């Protein structure tokens, strides 16, 4: 369902993604596990047509995200790592807008929005502006929005960042349900080992833009002789702390956050 | 179609919800109208050009449209910053439709803003020659709004962050405004300035508005309309190209 071969993305001097190759089968839940700045988000951005790769090839359900952008976009849904809501619109309006963009028929749209907003306990606040929401509520709304339509491939880029355990549980239950009943292929990135172990069929450990190891959680543990996935991860990626690349957009976001507080 | 509509609606909703900003953005044209209108009025009158308030009224309305439309396009930068842009960029709809919805939304709010400035001008003493000219005035308002909303989208798609914003403001928006003839008649100017004003699409917008509101045109209404339509098409193509190439 996802086929990636020798994918490279450089930003100036920095090689964010450095020759990544992997395949994700239809109906599989595949996790990218890696330290900050390992190239997880950049890989997702290239797969989802937000960045053009420097070199290498990709296929989403047989479609090339570089040359067949529009067709490729219709195969997937995505929950982004960083905010992507319109704060000046209400929660309901954000859902509605998403539903229209993803061609969810009007009748189904209303029902689905109600169902999902109730599931993530946002129904009471459906007519509040998103700018008045707390971080956790915004996160829940983004996830609810991600489930509004049922894509062939679902990208989840650190979806549980900033979520409380209840919502986290709700999210993974829903992801597993979608995967089992609708056969949705899931590509996720996370920092949390226990989540990766719990939901992912296979895990790829990525570091410095390269895939270090791929396999089931069990295989990774066996390969490194570690007793837990966390230790396997540390063995594979070392224990130094990484800095993420901060570009001008990130700086700008930081500045805005500073002024908003 | 529903994509264009929902994004158009978003722009309009956001505008109508920012009431303090609407009022604040009325202050600038009002300042020009009152201070320049009454300050330069006597000089203008004594040189035999008639009432200055009547003369700059259409210019100030054009100014309201120019600023609102160009900034609505540049508002794309804010969407990029707050992340909402991504949400629309990965959606399975042609980017051309997203761009069209945003741009038409920007043009619509610019027209609303232009109408508000007109009302304020009329309160301050500006009088359109006849109400029969309203359709023509609306046409020029719409054309101007589309031209600059599309230009704003093209700029907003090309800039990476807010640092370029000041540059655009000082070296693009202000010259467009000052060279448009909003504040002074475009007759008997030095050749260089005449050339510059003829290259400024806003000059045709202001001339058209002035023709509609007070029956005074230095370029000719037909030329105004044709030039604006051509420039609008050009900027829409430019904006669409820039928008379709955005990477996050």
Sign of the C-alpha dihedral, residues A149, A151, A154, A155?
A: negative
The residue range of the domain holding B33 is: 2-244
Band (A187; pLDDT cuts 50, 70, 90): very high
Tell whether B18 is within 8 A of chain A (Cβ). yes
Taking CB atoms within 8 Å and a gap of at least 24, the contacts of B182-190 are B182/B56, B182/B58, B182/B59, B182/B60, B182/B62, B182/B63, B182/B206, B183/B32, B183/B36, B183/B56, B183/B59, B185/B49, B185/B55, B185/B218, B186/B218, B186/B219, B187/B218
Query: From 3.40.50.12780, 3.50.50.60, 3.40.50.300, 3.40.50.720, which CATH number describes the A2-75+151-260 domain?
Result: 3.40.50.300
Band (A250; pLDDT cuts 50, 70, 90): low
Model pLDDT, residue A253:
60
* ipTM of the modeled complex: 0.87
Q: What is the pLDDT of residues A76-95, one digit of tens each?
A: 999 998 889 999 999 999 99
Q: What is the pLDDT of residues A197-206, one digit of tens each?
A: 889 999 999 9
Hey, are the CB atoms on A70 and B92 less than 8 Å from each other?
Answer: yes
B192 exposure class (CB count in 10 Å sphere: 0-12, 13-18, 19+): exposed
Tell whether A256 is within 8 A of chain B (Cβ). yes
Q: What average pLDDT does this structure show over A107-116? A: 93
A240 has a pLDDT exceeding 80: no
Residue for token pair 């590509």: A187
Q: Where are the beta strands (DSSP E) in A80-193?
A: 153-157, 185-190
Contact criterion met (CB below 8 Å) for A123 and A114: yes
Contact criterion met (CB below 8 Å) for B30 and B119: no
Q: What average pLDDT does this structure show over A232-240? A: 81
Domain extents for chain A? 2-75+151-260
Lowest mean pLDDT among A239-243, A244-248, B180-184: A244-248
Q: What average pLDDT does this structure show over B60-73? A: 93
* Candidate from A73, A101, A249 with C-beta closest to B81: A249
| N- to C-terminal Cα separation, chain B | 25
Domain count, chain B: 1
Q: What is the pLDDT of residues B129-159, one digit of tens each?
A: 888 888 999 999 999 999 999 999 999 998 8
Model pLDDT, residue A261:
43
CA distance B180 to A199: 62
Question: Looking at beta carbons, which residues of chain B come within 8 Å of A97?
Answer: 6-7, 10
Task: Give every CB contact of residue A86 below 8 A, 6+ residues apart in sequence.
Answer: A93, A94, A97, A130, B10, B14, B79, B82, B84, B87
Q: What is the pTM of this model?
A: 0.88
Report the C-alpha dihedral over residues B62, B67, B70, B72, rounded to 10 degrees.
-120
| N- to C-terminal Cα separation, chain A | 43
Hey, are the CB atoms on A52 and B163 less than 8 Å from each other?
Answer: no
């Amino acid at each position: 369902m996802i086929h990636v071969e020798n994918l490279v993305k450089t930003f100036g001097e920095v090689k964010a993604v450095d020759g990544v190759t992997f395949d994700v089968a239809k109906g599989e839940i595949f996790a990218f596990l890696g330290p900050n700045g390992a190239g997880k988000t950049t890989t997702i951005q290239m797969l989802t047509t937000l960045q053009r790769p420097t070199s290498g090839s990709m296929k989403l359900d047989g479609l090339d995200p570089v040359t067949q952008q529009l067709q490729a976009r219709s195969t997937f849904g995505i929950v982004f790592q960083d905010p992507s809501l319109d704060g000046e619109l209400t929660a309901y309006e954000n859902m509605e807008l998403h539903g229209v963009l993803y061609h969810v028929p009007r009748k189904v749209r209303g029902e689905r929005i109600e169902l999902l907003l109730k599931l993530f306990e946002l129904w009471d606040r459906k007519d509040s502006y998103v700018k008045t929401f707390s971080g956790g509520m915004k996160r829940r709304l983004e996830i609810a929005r991600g489930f509004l339509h049922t894509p062939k491939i679902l990208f989840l880029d650190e979806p549980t960042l900033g979520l409380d355990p209840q919502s986290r549980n709700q999210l993974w239950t829903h992801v597993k349900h979608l995967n089992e009943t609708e056969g949705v292929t899931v590509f996720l990135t996370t920092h949390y080992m226990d989540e990766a172990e719990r939901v992912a069929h296979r895990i790829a450990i990525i570091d410095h833009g390269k895939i270090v190891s791929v396999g089931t959680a069990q295989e990774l543990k066996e390969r490194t002789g570690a007793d837990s996935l966390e230790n396997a991860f540390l063995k594979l990626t070392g224990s130094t702390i990484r800095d993420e690349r901060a570009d001008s957009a990130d700086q700008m976001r930081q500045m805005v956050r500073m002024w908003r507080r | 179609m529903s994509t264009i509509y929902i994004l158009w609606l978003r722009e309009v909703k956001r505008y109508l919800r920012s009431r303090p900003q609407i009022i604040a953005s009325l202050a600038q044209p009002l300042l020009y109208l009152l201070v320049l209108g009454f300050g330069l009025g006597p000089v203008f009158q004594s040189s035999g050009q008639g009432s200055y308030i009547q003369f700059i009224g259409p210019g100030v309305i054009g100014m309201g449209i120019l600023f609102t439309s160009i900034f609505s396009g540049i508002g794309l930068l804010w969407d990029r910053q707050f992340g909402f842009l991504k949400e629309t960029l990965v959606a399975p709809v042609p980017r051309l439709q997203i761009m069209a919805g945003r741009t038409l939304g920007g043009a619509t709010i610019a027209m609303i803003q232009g109408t508000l400035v007109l009302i304020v001008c009329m309160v301050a003493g500006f009088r359109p020659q006849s109400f029969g000219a309203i359709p023509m005035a609306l046409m020029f308002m719409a054309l101007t709004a589309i031209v600059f909303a599309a230009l704003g989208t093209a700029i907003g798609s090309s800039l990476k962050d807010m640092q370029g914003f000041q540059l655009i403001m000082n070296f693009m928006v202000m010259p467009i405004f000052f060279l448009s003839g909003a504040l002074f008649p475009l007759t008997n100017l030095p050749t260089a300035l005449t050339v510059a004003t003829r290259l400024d699409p806003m000059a045709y917008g202001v001339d058209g508005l002035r023709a509609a509101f007070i029956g005074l045109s230095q370029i000719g209404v037909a030329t105004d309309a044709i030039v604006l339509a051509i420039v609008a098409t050009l900027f829409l193509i430019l904006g669409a190209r820039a928008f379709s190439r955005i990477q996050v």
